[in-house]
Amino acid sequence: MDIHMSGTEHIPTSGGALIAVNHVSYVDYVMGGLPGVERGRYTRFMAKKEIFDHGVGGPLMRSFGHLEVDRESGAASMLTAVKALREGELVGIFPEATISQSFLIKELKSGAVRIAADAGVPLIPVVVWGTQRILAKGRKLDLSRHQRIDIEVGEPMHPSGDDPAAETVALRTRMQEMLERCILAAPASERPEGAWWLPQQYGGSAPTIEEAAAAYAEERRRRAQARAAKRRT
Which pLDDT score is estimated for 61? 60
- The CA radius of gyration of the chain, in Å to the nearest whole number, is 18
Q: Does domain 2-192 have CATH number 3.40.50.2300?
A: no
CA atoms of 102 and 190, how far apart (whole Å): 17
pLDDT by residue (tens digit) across 23-46? 999 889 889 999 999 999 999 998
**Predicted TM-score (pTM) above 0.85:** yes
Report the alpha-carbon distance of residue 92 to residue 111 in Å, rounded. 12
Euclidean distance between CA atoms 92 and 81, whole angstroms? 9
Q: Is the pLDDT of residue 56 over 80?
A: no
CA dist 187 and 208 (Å) reads 23
Model confidence pLDDT, tens digit, residues 125-156 = 999 999 999 998 888 888 887 789 999 999 99
Q: Which long-range contacts (CB under 8 A, 24 or more apart) does 137-144 make?
A: 137/26, 137/99, 137/101, 138/101
Between β-strands 148-153 and 90-93, what pairing exists: parallel, antiparallel or unpaired? unpaired
Domain boundaries, the chain: 2-192
Q: How far apart are the first and last CA of the chain?
A: 47
Report yes or no: 119 and 158 within 8 Å, Cβ to Cβ: no
